[in-house]
Structures are given as C-alpha cells and as structure tokens.
Amino acid sequence: MKILSFVLVLLGPFLCRASLFTSPVGHREAFLGNAGSALVCSSGSAIYNPAGIGFCSHDVSISLSGTGISYQELDGTVFSRNTGSLKSTTLLTSAIFSIEDDLHMGLYYSYPVNWIDYFRVNDSTTSYTQEIQRQAAIAGISYGGMLTNNFAWGFSIGMSWSEMNSGLVSNTESAGTASTFTQRVMQEENYIVLNPGLLWKANDAYSLGFTVQWRAINLYSEADVYTSSLSTGQTTISEVFQRYTPHAQPLLGLTLGQVLNFGSQQLLFDWTHAPQYSLPSTQQQVSDDIKYDAVSLGWQMHILENADLLLGGNYSQYGELKNYLTSIGFAFKKRTYEASLGLYKQTSKNDAYGGQNSDTMGFLYSSTLSY
C-alpha cells in the first residue's frame, strides 16, 4: 500500500550509526550538522568515531544528557488533513573513562527518533485515516587508544533498536458498493552494529578521521500485520493475520571527516557514503539496494571568553528521499563543565510518493562534565 511504503522510505536511515542519522545526534556535533568524525576527544566521539576518545587526557567525562524538544508535521500534495506532534528525544548520553594512559572506554546511548502523527488522504472514491508511531535508539560500548602520539584507533559495538506501529482505516465507495478496510502493522528490528575507526591529528590545525559503520547481525526482527474488511452484502467480517521478517540487508557505510582550525575558528566537514542500503520491505514487497550519501558541514567560532557560536548543516539523499538539516547554537564552558543551547530545523522531501514531506523544528540542549 502506498501510504505504508512511504512510511518505510521516510524512516529508513534512522537505524544505524550517528553519521547515518538524519536528525541531530551528539553533543556539540548535534549543533554542527552531525559533523564529528574527526573531532579529537569529543563527548560524541564514542558514537561518531571511537578513535577520538583515544586522545582524551581526563580520567572521566560524563555527558549528563543531550535533549531535543521539537514539533514535527507530515504534509504533502495527497494529504487533505494532517496533525503534527510534539516530541522529545535524547541526542546522546555518554560516559568516557580512562583505563590506561593510552586507552579509554566509552559508553553511549542515543534515542533520536520518537514521534507519532495522524493524517488523512482523500481521492474521488477512497478516504484513508492513518496513525503512525515510530521509535529508534542505539546503545553500545567504545574503545579508543593511541598507536603513536598523533594517530589513534577505535572500535565500538552497539545494538540498534527500532519499532513502528501503524493503524489504517479505509472507506471506499464504488458502483453502489461500500467497503471498510482496517489494518494494523507492528514492526520491530534489532541489530548488532560494529564501528571501527581511525583518527590522525596532523597538528593543532588539522585532523582527519575515517570510520566504517556496519549493521552486522540481525538479532531479532519481526512484523505482524492484522487486516479486516467488510463490504456491502457481507454478514461477517473477513480477518487475516500475517507475520513476516522485515527484509533489511546488512548496511555498510563509510565516513571521512576533517577538522580545520584557524585562529579562533574551527571548520568541520564529514562525507558519508553507504553503497548498500536496503529499506525494510512489507510482506508483499522485496527491498532494493539504495545508495545513501550525506554531507555534513559545521563551523564554530570563539566569540566570548567562555562562549562559542555553533552553526551546522547537513544534506542527505537515499533514493528519492532528500533530507535537509540546519542548526544554530551557543556553547558555554567553565572549567570542567560545558553546556550548549540551540535550535534546529529538519525537512524531508520525497517527490516519488506524491509529495509527502516532513518538517520538524526544535530546541537542543546538551551538557558535559569532565574531571
């Protein structure tokens, strides 16, 4: 069904590493367009590039929480009525510990997808009313160590979880016959995700990072579909229950990141390419491999003694779906504590499915304590 297919396409890239998220993820990274693969010892290094925590010099760093509060709305040319939803997400919660002088460990958790929407679709003979709820999260452990004084390695293993619940009611009239169709879809996916990385700090002005994101093992993925229908002349309701395994092949993604420091300013650039990305299919549909590409650009400038201005942008495309993310924020640092505040706007467009779009505007907050 077209509406269900659109939902799966819209939500596909939320299932893996931070470089492949289309919503803000991380701490400062969330304000910098999700650019963070070449940052040295960032609170978000545990999820962006575990090699970054190898450069950490402190004993413990605890990121108290990164939170986004936003309003999201679906719209498009085929929608005659829809409502938006207020949502709260966890950008990243992490802790980094020193094991030895040249070895650090990090724990991370991110819950960037949590929304529910209602909308209505009308054409000449049929009306749809649909409710969609989506959640996705990832958690894991990272290790980073030094190979030389300016070259670090890193590796992380995590688990990604996503869940979608969709309810649909359809009423159709044709040639004097009326029928009602209802459908309920409950889908869950759980994967083991591996993320090796390397980071080279050439000098104080330049660093280069490289990571591989691999959704390696399908732990448990299942979907249940319940449908019922009743037409004019029928005396009993027709009911069908189906169970299937969502078809999602292993995802392999590559990210190359750079950081340039000049004076009181810092420029960040990340490029991500996933040559193999299969969207989950319905029980009637087999997914096709779709290439995923993303470019992230971040800029931060020291404006006051303890404050930085943060700007970021991100563009990603997979298939016909295009995603745009912009953000602005301010970071305040006092001794061992750092806090960031800002705003973001995210737009998703897909002309291939009747112009269904998603617009999100929200508030970002993040804080970190190191000692």
Please give the pLDDT value at position 356.
64
Q: Which of 1-10, 294-303, 359-368 has the highest mean pLDDT?
A: 294-303
Give the whole-number percent of the chain exceeding pLDDT 70. 83
Q: Which residue has the tokens 């960040």?
A: 268
Say if residues 61 and 338 touch (Cβ distance below 8 Å): no
Please give the pLDDT value at position 353.
53
- DSSP class per residue in 297-366: EEEEEEEETTEEEEEEEEEEEETTEEEEEEEEEEEEEETTEEEEEEEEEEEEEEGGGTSEEEEEEEEEEE
Distance between CA atoms of 171 and 181, rounded to whole angstroms? 6
**Region 113-129 average pLDDT:** 72
**Region 178-205 average pLDDT:** 92
Distance between CA atoms of 270 and 209, rounded to whole angstroms? 9
Cross-strand partners of 189:
162, 221
Please give the pLDDT value at position 100.
86
Residue 124: strand, helix, or coil: coil
234 burial class (0-12, 13-18, 19+ CB within 10 angstroms)?
exposed
- pLDDT tens, position by position, 45-92: 999 999 999 998 877 888 877 788 888 776 655 555 556 778 888 888
Cα 130–chain centre separation: 23
Lowest mean per-residue pLDDT among 12-16, 324-328, 357-361: 12-16
Distance between CA atoms of 40 and 152, rounded to whole angstroms? 10
Q: How many residues does the chain have?
A: 371
Name the amino acid, one letter, at 134.
Answer: R
Could you tell me which CATH number the domain at 2-370 has?
2.40.160.60
Domain coordinates in residue numbering, the chain: 2-370
Average pLDDT, the chain: 83
Please give the pLDDT value at position 83.
61
Cα 224–chain centre separation: 24
Say if residues 153 and 144 touch (Cβ distance below 8 Å): yes
Q: Which of 15-19, 77-81, 153-157 has the highest mean pLDDT?
A: 153-157
Q: What are phi and psi of 305, to 5 degrees?
A: -55, -40
**Region 27-38 average pLDDT:** 93
Please give the pLDDT value at position 75.
66
24 burial class (0-12, 13-18, 19+ CB within 10 angstroms)?
buried
- DSSP class per residue in 211-247: EEEEEEEEEEEEEEEEEEEEETT-SS-EEEEEEE---
Lowest mean per-residue pLDDT among 15-19, 206-210, 240-244: 15-19
pLDDT value at 10 more than 70: no
Q: What are phi and psi of 51, to 5 degrees?
A: -65, -25
Using CA atoms of 40, 267, 43, 159 in order, give the dihedral in degrees to the nearest 10. Answer: -100
Name the amino acid, one letter, at 287.
Answer: S
Helix (H) or strand (E) holding 6: helix 2-11
Distance between CA atoms of 350 and 368, rounded to whole angstroms? 37
| Cα distances (angstroms) measured from residue 220 to each of 189, 248, 286 | 6, 12, 19
The DSSP symbol for 249 reads: P
The DSSP symbol for 17 reads: -
Distance between CA atoms of 91 and 371, rounded to whole angstroms? 22
**Region 321-345 average pLDDT:** 92
**Region 314-318 average pLDDT:** 90
Q: Where are the alpha helices (DSSP H) in 20-161?
A: 28-31, 45-48
Region label for 41, one of left (φ > 0), alpha (ψ between -120 and 50) or beta (otherwise): left
Lowest mean per-residue pLDDT among 25-29, 63-67, 342-346: 63-67
**Region 203-223 average pLDDT:** 91
Q: Which of 60-64, 246-250, 261-265, 283-287 has the highest mean pLDDT?
A: 261-265
Please give the pLDDT value at position 355.
54
Residue 35: strand, helix, or coil: coil
The DSSP symbol for 351 reads: G
Name the amino acid, one letter, at 48.
Answer: Y
Distance between CA atoms of 125 and 122, rounded to whole angstroms? 8
**Region 27-56 average pLDDT:** 93
| Cα distances (angstroms) measured from residue 7 to each of 76, 88, 350 | 13, 20, 11
Confidence band of 201 (pLDDT split at 50, 70, 90): very high
Distance between CA atoms of 340 and 333, rounded to whole angstroms? 9
Please give the pLDDT value at position 18.
52
Please give the pLDDT value at position 206.
97
Please give the pLDDT value at position 15.
43
